[in-house]
């Protein structure tokens, strides 16, 4: 056999194999012949000023009060999670963007709201929302992820959790606003200022020190737009800071102040709340970037699958940049196969992956593992826990395993 023969054969084999999978994918569809096989056309309802979801679509966030504190009265909730298992594509609808607010959602009048910019800079400014909207704007798609995402599985796995419970503290939106770099030039920040305090206008007084690296000065946005419309109140209306790739808590909502300085302010949010208790009992501060991560969203916790063809799909993301590879194991981590990454694959955004799978009906475990453009690989749970221990609460990015029993029930397990 010549090398070109071999190439032809392998291409033919590839086509045969993919036709086989495509055939499997339609095996459950019934064959059709004429228009009589599809329902008739239907009279329409009146048009409206605001469109709602179809009555047949059941999709919503779930308010929770903390790890393991589910099904609470919404007035007690501290966060509300995104239904990842019901989403397609990569953009989270604004109404389903996860929500994490430390003191409820303030109802701010944009005409009265102001942003103070001061500290180590030549000028001190108080800007209105209209002032900001008059400045050159940028739009960027980026995820925001709470550092608590994944905290449900630190110590044990509740088998009744869905992927919304385990991973629903991440969402990806298009954000529009003024680049931080523009505001830095406007007030002529002192070169010796290497930190910035960002403070919110809610009662919690969330305030975080942000290191002014080149990357942050280039990429941060004082945003007023979310998916093409003004921010929703839950997400910071009228303005919030968006810091692509960095922990959710730094993306200060209801932004009222930016202050430049030359050292961190050591607010309670960085001395107590958002520190990481390590295995040796010491606490680590300023672990600011969100790690490489991924999760299979279908099949996922509490679903039921049938023997034969199943399409595996899920989401992968990294605070370091683009996702370059997602691998899937359908035999509990013994063998891995590259999944297809759907375009576009954007940096610091959720990327969609998928893979065809013929399930033989035997009990197994499925798991995904992502790699980003900096070469970071999502760790398996055993090596993650060996490194970080189980005292910690934040930045859980271990691989997520779903077990499938012989009847097709999918459940959350540790590995």
Ligand X SMILES: Nc1nc2c(c(=O)[nH]1)N[C@H]1C(S)=C(S)[C@@H](COP(=O)(O)O)O[C@H]1N2
Nearer to ligand X by C-beta: 144 or 258? 144
CA dihedral (74, 240, 392, 264) positive or negative: negative
Q: Which residue has the tokens 């049938």?
A: 306
- DSSP secondary structure, 253-293, as one string: SSEEEEEEESS----HIIIIIT-EE-TTS-EE----BPPPE
Bridge partners, residue 339, by sequence:
none
Site string for ligand X, 138-177 (x = CB under 6 A): ------x-x-------------------------------
- Quote the tokens at residue 33: 């012949």
| Span interacting with ligand X, options 21-29, 197-205, 216-224, 369-377, rule CB under 6 A | 197-205
Is 101 an interacting residue with respect to Mo ion (CB under 5 A)? no
Residues of span 16-35 touching ligand X by CB under 6 A: none
Nearer to Mo ion by C-beta: 84 or 146? 146
The minimum distance between CB 153 and Mo ion, in angstroms, equals: 17
Dihedral angle over CA of 290, 292, 298, 300, nearest 10: -70
Give the closest residue to 196 by CA, choosing from 124, 123, 261, 250.
261
The H or E element spanning position 131 is: helix 129-133
Whether residue 415 contacts residue 401, with contact meaning beta carbons closer than 8 Å, is answered with: yes
For strands 293-298 and 410-413, give the pairing.
unpaired
SS3 313: strand
Which residue is nearest to Mo ion, using beta carbons?
A: 146
Of Mo ion, ligand X, none, which one sits near residue 251, judging by CB under 5 to 8 A according to partner kind?
ligand X
Q: How far apart are CA 151 and CA 66, in angstroms?
A: 9
User: Which of 121, 146, 216, 316 lies at the binding interface for Mo ion (CB under 5 A)?
Assistant: 146
The minimum distance between CB 155 and ligand X, in angstroms, equals: 21
Nearer to ligand X by C-beta: 70 or 102? 102
Site string for ligand X, 105-144 (x = CB under 6 A): ---------------------------------------x
The minimum distance between CB 143 and ligand X, in angstroms, equals: 10
User: Which of 196, 206, 303, 346 lies at the binding interface for ligand X (CB under 6 A)?
Assistant: 206
Site string for ligand X, 235-264 (x = CB under 6 A): x------------xx-xxxx----------
For strands 255-261 and 114-119, give the pairing.
parallel
Total residues found in the chain within this entry: 415
User: Which of 204, 278, 413, 414 lies at the binding interface for ligand X (CB under 6 A)?
Assistant: 204
Of Mo ion, ligand X, none, which one sits near residue 117, judging by CB under 5 to 8 A according to partner kind?
none
User: Which of 80, 165, 166, 249 lies at the binding interface for Mo ion (CB under 5 A)?
Assistant: 249
Bridge partners, residue 293, by sequence:
317
Is 97 an interacting residue with respect to ligand X (CB under 6 A)? yes
Dihedral angle over CA of 231, 234, 238, 240, nearest 10: -90
Phi, psi of 154 (to 5 degrees): -60, -50
User: Which of 61, 100, 113, 167 lies at the binding interface for Mo ion (CB under 5 A)?
Assistant: 100
Number of residues that bind Mo ion (CB under 5 A): 4
- Quote the tokens at residue 56: 């047949």
Number of residues that bind ligand X (CB under 6 A): 20
Is 101 an interacting residue with respect to ligand X (CB under 6 A)? yes
Contacting residues toward Mo ion, per CB under 5 A = 100, 146, 248-249
Residues that bind ligand X (CB under 6 A): 97-102, 144, 146, 200, 202, 204, 206, 234-235, 248-249, 251-254
């Amino acid at each position: 056999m010549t090398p070109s023969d071999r190439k032809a054969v392998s291409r033919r084999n590839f086509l045969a194999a993919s036709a086989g999978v495509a055939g499997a994918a339609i095996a459950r569809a019934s064959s059709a012949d004429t228009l009589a096989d599809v329902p008739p056309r239907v009279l329409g309802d009146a048009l409206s000023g605001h469109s709602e979801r179809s009555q047949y679509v059941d999709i919503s966030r779930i308010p929770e009060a903390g790890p393991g504190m589910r099904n609470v009265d919404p007035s007690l909730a501290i966060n509300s999670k995104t239904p990842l298992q019901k989403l397609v594509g990569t953009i989270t609808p604004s109404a389903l963007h996860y929500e994490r607010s430390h003191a409820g959602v303030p109802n701010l009048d944009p005409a009265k709201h102001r942003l103070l910019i001061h500290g180590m800079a030549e000028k001190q400014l108080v800007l209105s929302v209209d002032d900001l909207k008059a400045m050159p704007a940028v739009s960027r798609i980026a995820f925001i992820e709470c550092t608590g995402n994944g905290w449900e599985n630190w110590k044990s796995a509740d088998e009744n959790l869905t992927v919304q419970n385990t991973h629903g503290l991440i969402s990806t939106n298009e954000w529009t606003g003024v680049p931080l770099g523009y505001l830095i030039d406007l007030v002529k920040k002192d070169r010796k200022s290497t930190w910035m305090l960002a403070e919110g206008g809610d009662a919690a007084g969330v305030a975080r020190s942000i290191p002014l690296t080149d990357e942050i000065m280039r990429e941060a946005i004082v945003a007023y737009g979310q998916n093409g419309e003004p921010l929703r109140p839950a997400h910071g209306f009228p303005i919030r800071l968006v810091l692509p790739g960095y922990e959710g808590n730094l993306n200060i909502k209801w932004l009222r102040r930016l202050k430049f300085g030359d050292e961190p302010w050591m607010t309670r949010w960085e001395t107590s709340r958002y520190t990481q208790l390590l295995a040796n009992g010491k606490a680590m501060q300023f672990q600011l970037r969100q790690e490489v991560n991924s999760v299979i969203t279908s099949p996922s916790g509490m679903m039921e699958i049938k023997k034969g063809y199943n399409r595996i799909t899920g989401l992968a993301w990294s605070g370091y940049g683009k996702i370059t590879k997602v691998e899937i194991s359908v035999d509990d981590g013994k063998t891995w196969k590259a999944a297809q990454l759907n375009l576009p694959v954007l940096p610091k955004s959720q990327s969609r992956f998928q893979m065809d799978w013929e399930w033989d009906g035997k009990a197994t475990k499925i798991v995904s593992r992502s790699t980003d453009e900096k070469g970071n690989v999502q760790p398996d749970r055993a090596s993650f826990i060996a490194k970080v221990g189980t005292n910690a609460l934040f930045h859980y990015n271990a691989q997520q395993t779903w077990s499938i029993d012989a009847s097709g029930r999918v459940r959350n397990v540790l590995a």
